[in-house]
Amino acid sequence: MPVFHDRSGITPIVATVLLLLMIVAMSGAVFTFMMDLQERAQDDLLEDMQTRISTMSLNCETDEISFRVRNTGDRNIDASSVDILIYDQQGSLTMNPITEDWSDKDFTEAGASDRVEIDLPQSLVEDDFYLIDLQFPMANEDVRVGGCLAG
């Protein structure tokens, strides 16, 4: 009676290597899925926390800027350290950012608005066009107040 040593199946070493490769591939897929899920959840949270601010009635004098700020969001605003950025027509900063503490202003509360006046440390050039941006603490982006001619 002949003895057959048919080795048509896979060896235990090859089976172990294939099993490990499948485990590594599945782990990578799960890791990628979890990272994507976490990133989307974080983006949603930041979007929900984003303060909504609108500005209007911008007035530029050579030594003072004034405008109305309205908190159109449903959260109070941290306005303890607001940077005011003033750009010229070419998009360059005309002076160092001006930092103001507006924590006592009405617009810090959800749904409220208030007028803001800023005394400039240096004069703007009369009849030149300027863009005004605000940077609030913990905000993801600048708030564009608008553009105006100094005068």
- pLDDT tens digit at each of 151 positions of the chain: 555 566 566 788 888 889 999 999 999 999 888 888 888 776 665 555 455 777 778 888 888 998 888 888 777 888 888 888 999 888 888 888 899 998 898 888 888 889 989 898 888 888 889 998 888 876 666 788 888 888 7
3-class secondary-structure state, position 106? helix
Helix, strand, coil % over all residues of the chain, rounded to 5: 25, 30, 40
User: Are 74 and 45 found together in one domain?
Assistant: no
20: domain range? 1-49
Tokens of 81: 């350290």
- Per-position DSSP letters for 112-125, written without gaps between them: -EEEEEEE-SSPPP
Q: How many domains does the chain have?
A: 2
User: Are 128 and 60 found together in one domain?
Assistant: yes
User: Are 85 and 39 found together in one domain?
Assistant: no
Of 16, 33, 49, at which residue does a domain stop? 49
User: Are 112 and 60 found together in one domain?
Assistant: yes
User: Are 43 and 105 found together in one domain?
Assistant: no
Sign of CA dihedral 86, 122, 114, 103: positive
User: Are 15 and 88 found together in one domain?
Assistant: no
CB 10 within 8 A of CB 100: no
User: Are 31 and 5 found together in one domain?
Assistant: yes
* Burial 65-91, CB ≥16 within 10 A → b, else e: bebbbbbeeeeebebeebebbbeeeee
CB 106 within 8 A of CB 96: no
pLDDT at res. 24: 93
Of 9, 24, 49, at which residue does a domain stop? 49
| CATH classification at residue 130 | 2.60.40.10
User: Are 39 and 70 found together in one domain?
Assistant: no
User: Are 126 and 86 found together in one domain?
Assistant: yes
Q: What's the rounded Cα separation, in Å, for the pair 76 and 104?
A: 12
Tell me which amino acid residue 132 is. Answer: I
User: Are 42 and 85 found together in one domain?
Assistant: no
pLDDT at res. 110: 82
Of 27, 49, 71, at which residue does a domain stop? 49
User: Are 100 and 33 found together in one domain?
Assistant: no
Strands 129-135 vs 113-119: parallel, antiparallel or unpaired:
unpaired
User: Are 24 and 78 found together in one domain?
Assistant: no
